[in-house]
A and B are shown apart, each in its own frame.
Chain A
Amino acid sequence: MSILINENTRVLVQGITGSFGARHASLSLAYGTKVVAGVTPGKGGQFFENIVPIFNGVAEAVKETGATASAIFVPPPFAADAILEAADAGVELIVCITEGIPVMDMMRVKEGLKGLPVRLVGPNCPGLVTPGRGEKSHGGCRIGIAPGYIHKRGNVGVVSRSGTLTYEAVFQLTQLGYGQSTCVGIGGDPINGTSHCDVLQMFNEDPETEAIIMIGEIGGTAEVEAARWASENCKKPIAGFIAGATAPPGRRMGHAGAIVGGEEDTAAAKKRILAECGIAVSETPGDMAVTLLRHWGKA
């Protein structure tokens, strides 16, 4: 089953002719993803790698190819516009990879998307992977920038703000023989489209997901809200990790959203609350998979 994407999802790539967009569209294709269209205003009529048609606008791309998901690799000054264009074109799942979008742009975009039948993931996120059943998990759907080879098809759902910490958790699981249903990177920005709680709810309903790893960091209350929801509603075992125990207060630690505002959004406070909510908290990033397996009763 998986959530949000599967091996049949038809994906378009906004910004496919930029260097990042191109590199990752290529890697996604190699992974087996159905990349069916690209969009770069002014380059309509060209082809990406001789097989993917490029369009001037998202509406045309959707009409011609039936794409339902979009990966956005558009630079920060134009990314908010790209999100709104995709929503207007009827895209169901928008995954915005771009880092550096002004916070006020995202504030307005989020308001503008209200009431529309669209899910936004990100921005400033590594994207989503539903691993395939082929060799090195090929044949799945990869939207974004994650390295494909670390994945394995299986039953653990992974949700995280950080891309590279997601890869750590996924690789640990794969090496221990446990695969993933879907891996969702929600991104590091303070205002984003999808929260930890949103994803936990989806994993909770997904028959293929049996256990969950949740990765967070300092700043904001998203992990705490997710944990509190889970303690009342989630049927499946969850392990968590919070990065930034050593972060000095008041400094933005890379991610725009990773800044300690007060007592409640430190790593220590979040870990404590997660534990109180029945989530098994991993003390170090190297133990995330092992912590889950113990909590799940597999180890």
Chain B
Amino acid sequence: MNIHEYQAKELFDRFQVPSPKGQVASTPEEAAEAARQFAGSKLVIKAQVHAGGRGKGHFKNGFKGGVHLIDSPEQAAEFAAKMLNETLVTVQTGESGRLVRKVMIAEAVDITHEYYLAILMDRASCRPVIVASTEGGMNIEDVAHDSPEKIFRQAVHPLLGLQPYEVRKVTAALGLSGDLAKQFSKLLANLYKLFLECDCSMLEINPLVTTPDGRVLALDAKFGFDDNALYRHPEIVAMRDKEEEDPREVAASEYDLNYIGLDGNIACLVNGAGLAMATMDVIKHFGGEPANFLDVGGGASKEQVTAAFKIILGDPKVKGIMINIFGGIMDCNIIAEGVIAAAKETGLPIPLVVRLEGNNVEAGKAALKASGINITTAATMAEAAEKIVALVN
């Protein structure tokens, strides 16, 4: 789940992680008001979208750049009018771009030095790890590749928590001393608290900056949240912006389905994530292009299966469907009932290949046969993949 820059700032403010002054605005008037609030500071206006590359992007109305310095409240309103409810295209959004619904008026800070600071859950050591580098403001993968000695890692004990000596180690690794070191120490302790209390999977500040007037600030942040923990974070779930997500995936999540949209034309509906990944792989192996990843899970109801089917059928790129079920928890008859219901409701205009095996398979196969729907069956997943690719091509 991604969040906007202004929401990241809300979290930073809540946990007292210093960042440049900023205020979100949904109208030109609000933008002007925000600029007035910050009179005396150099300001920028930034389009709020879940994608990078905003500065170099362009709007479909011709306005260039999603980030601009502004010299007055009037200019804030003027630029906001050119951005709000307009579509911004960046290298990360693709040609279709993203609709900008909010802008942020923020303090433009002068930078003495850019650092990198991140906290992530390291699966190998089963610990949160703090990653820090003096080489901020650039791609950390490049730093890892070219000068790995400039990246400092500090694992934190899962039960003991972040210790002051560990904070001192990170501070020293960044070459900070004096008052800047004091500020950084507080920032890091608060950041770690945020990481734990919000059940983050990843939190990256790039760059973290020191300024000529002696401040330490988080300039840009990227958050990842543990999906498994969202049930205990309604305040974070409230930050979700469905408009920024693939509409097929939004529809799927309303039914608790695990769905990821891809670009191909053969859709698949599978139980079990490993089998779903392998199904995509086997479709590709036989020359097809998977349209999606879809795991209906072990406890799927007939309604969920029907909903899954309809989401697949709602994708205009899809020219064929492969259903691959090996029931452990999943009851093959429930899949069959869901498929039959969906096919009857939608008419099934495209080829469907079904491979069923496992728990209650005989009842499932019998139901499909009795339904009278035009279904091609297969005994193995390889056979199913070969058949659907042939039918689609």
Contacts and interface: CB of A to CB of B under 8 A. Distances in A.
A52 B382 CA distance: 42
B274 A107 contact: no
A164 B275 contact: yes
**Range class of the B interface residue count:** 35 or more
Given A104-B196, A255-B274, 12 more contacts: A20-B299, A100-B228, A111-B157, A145-B298, A164-B326, A167-B358, A168-B275, A243-B281, A246-B283, A247-B293, A254-B273, A256-B228
Nearest to B260: A251
A111 B158 contact: yes
A58 B226 CA distance: 29
Given A101-B228, A168-B381, A254-B293, A284 B281 contact: yes
Nearest to B160: A111
B228 A286 contact: no
A253 B260 contact: yes
Interface stretch (B79-87, B119-127, B186-194, B205-213): B119-127
A15 to B, nearest CB: 13
Interface in A128-170: 145-147, 150, 160-165, 167-168
Nearest to A102: B229
Given A251-B260, A258-B273, A150 B358 contact: yes
B141 interface: yes
A147 B228 contact: no
Contacts of A161: 274
A286 B328 contact: no
17 contacts: A20-B299, A102-B199, A103-B229, A104-B158, A107-B121, A111-B126, A126-B328, A146-B328, A147-B326, A147-B327, A162-B272, A168-B326, A217-B274, A218-B277, A220-B123, A253-B260, A286-B382
Max count, chain A CB within 10 A of own CB: residue among B258, B282, B297: B282
Interface residues of A, number: 62
A215 B282 contact: no
B227 interface: yes
B262 interface: yes
Interface of B: 121, 123-124, 126-128, 141, 157-159, 196, 199, 201, 226-229, 231-232, 258, 260, 262, 270-278, 280-285, 290, 293, 295, 297-299, 326-329, 357-359, 380-382
A284 B275 contact: no
B328 A103 contact: no
Nearest to B299: A20
Given A100-B228, A145-B329, A191-B126, A255 B158 contact: no
Contacts of A110: 126, 158
Contacts, number: 172
A178 interface: no
B277 A254 contact: yes
A147 B359 contact: yes
A112 B158 CA distance: 9
A207 interface: no
Interface string A241-271: 1011111100111111110001000010000
Contact of A286 (B226, B227, B282, B298): B282
A147 B159 contact: no
A218 B226 CA distance: 18
A245 B284 contact: yes
Nearest to A265: B123
A164 B328 contact: yes
A291 to B, nearest CB: 13
A165 B326 CA distance: 8
A171 interface: yes
In terms of DSSP, what is the predominant structure of the interface of chain B?
A: mixed
Contacts of B127: 107
A221 interface: yes
A108 interface: yes
Contact of B159 (A112, A165, A168, A217): A112
Contacts of A257: 123
A285 interface: yes
A283 interface: yes
B273 A190 contact: no
Contacts of B258: 254
B229 A165 contact: no
Given A77-B232, A262-B141, A253 B273 contact: yes
B284 A104 contact: no
B228 A102 contact: yes
Nearest to B157: A111
Given A77-B231, A103-B228, A110-B126, A248 B277 contact: no
B328 A284 contact: no
Given A107-B121, A110-B126, A164 B381 contact: no
Given A77-B232, A253-B276, A284-B382, A171 B282 contact: no
A160 B277 CA distance: 14
Q: Which are the 9 A-B pairs with shortest beta-carbon distances?
A: A162-B274, A254-B273, A164-B272, A164-B275, A286-B382, A102-B229, A243-B277, A285-B278, A165-B274
Interface string A85-114: 000000000000001111110111011100
B276 to A, nearest CB: 6
A58 to B, nearest CB: 22
B126 A243 contact: no
A285 B298 contact: no
A158 to B, nearest CB: 13
A101 to B, nearest CB: 6
A275 to B, nearest CB: 17
B226 A102 contact: yes
